[in-house]
Amino acid sequence: MKMRKRRMEFFSFYDHTGMERHLEQMAEKGWILEQIGNLGWVYRRESPQKVHVTVSYDPKWSQFDPKIEGKGEEKAELCHHTGWKLMARLSQFQVFYNWEDDPLPMETDPEMEVNSIHRTAKRTYLPFICVWFGIAAMYLYLFAIGIADDLVSTLSDTAVLFRGLLGLLLLILVGAELVGYLHWYTKAKKLANQGRFWKTGGKGVIQRTVCWMIVVTLVLWLTDMLVRDNPVMRLAAVTSIVLILYASVAIPQLILVMRRKKVSRQINETVTACLVFLVPLLVVGGMIAMIVGADWHNQDRGSGMAQYLQEPPLNIEQLLAVDGQQYTQQVWAKESPLLGTFKMMETEEWELVENEGAPELTYTLAQLHVPSLYRWCCNSYLEGEYRETDPKPWLADAAYQYMDGDHPLSGYLLCYSDRLVRITFSWKPTQEQMSVVGEKLGGI
Partner 1 sequence: MARAKFHTLSEQMFYVLLCLREERCGIDILDQVPAMTGGRVRVGSGTLYNLLEQFLEAGFILETKVEGRRRSYVISFQGQEVLQQEYARICAQARDYRRITGEEEKA
Binding positions for partner 1, rule: CB under 8 A: 54, 56, 58, 71, 73-79, 81-82, 84, 104-109, 111-113, 115-116, 189, 193
Let me know if 277 is exposed, middle or buried by CB neighbors in 10 A (0-12, 13-18, 19+): exposed
Q: What is the closest distance, in whole angstroms, from the C-beta atom of residue 184 to partner 1 in the complex?
A: 17
Burial 5-27 (b: 16+ CB within 10 A, else e): eeeebbbbbbbbbbbbbbbeebb
Cβ distance to partner 1 smaller for residue 79 or 210: 79
Q: Are 402 and 381 in contact, with CB atoms under 8 Å apart?
A: no
CA end-to-end span of the chain: 66
Q: What strands, in cross-sheet order, belong to the sheet with 407-415?
A: 327-335, 339-348, 361-368, 419-425, 407-415, 398-404, 386-389
Q: What is the closest distance, in whole angstroms, from the C-beta atom of residue 381 to partner 1 in the complex?
A: 59
Q: What is the closest distance, in whole angstroms, from the C-beta atom of residue 99 to partner 1 in the complex?
A: 15
Cβ distance to partner 1 smaller for residue 75 or 89: 75
Which helix (H) or strand (E) is 175 found in, with range?
helix 158-193
H helices within 247-384, ranges in order?
251-260, 265-293, 296-299, 306-310, 374-381
Cβ distance to partner 1 smaller for residue 105 or 286: 105
Cβ distance to partner 1 smaller for residue 67 or 301: 67
What is d(CA 159, CA 148) in angstroms, rounded to the nearest whole number?
A: 17
What is d(CA 419, CA 395) in angstroms, rounded to the nearest whole number?
A: 13
Cβ distance to partner 1 smaller for residue 73 or 390: 73
Q: What is the closest distance, in whole angstroms, from the C-beta atom of residue 115 to partner 1 in the complex?
A: 7
Cβ distance to partner 1 smaller for residue 15 or 113: 113
Q: What is the closest distance, in whole angstroms, from the C-beta atom of residue 60 to partner 1 in the complex?
A: 8
Q: What is the closest distance, in whole angstroms, from the C-beta atom of residue 100 to partner 1 in the complex?
A: 13
Q: What is the closest distance, in whole angstroms, from the C-beta atom of residue 70 to partner 1 in the complex?
A: 9
Cβ distance to partner 1 smaller for residue 82 or 379: 82
Q: Are 307 and 298 in contact, with CB atoms under 8 Å apart?
A: no
What count of other Cβ atoms lies within 10 Å of the Cβ of residue 85?
13
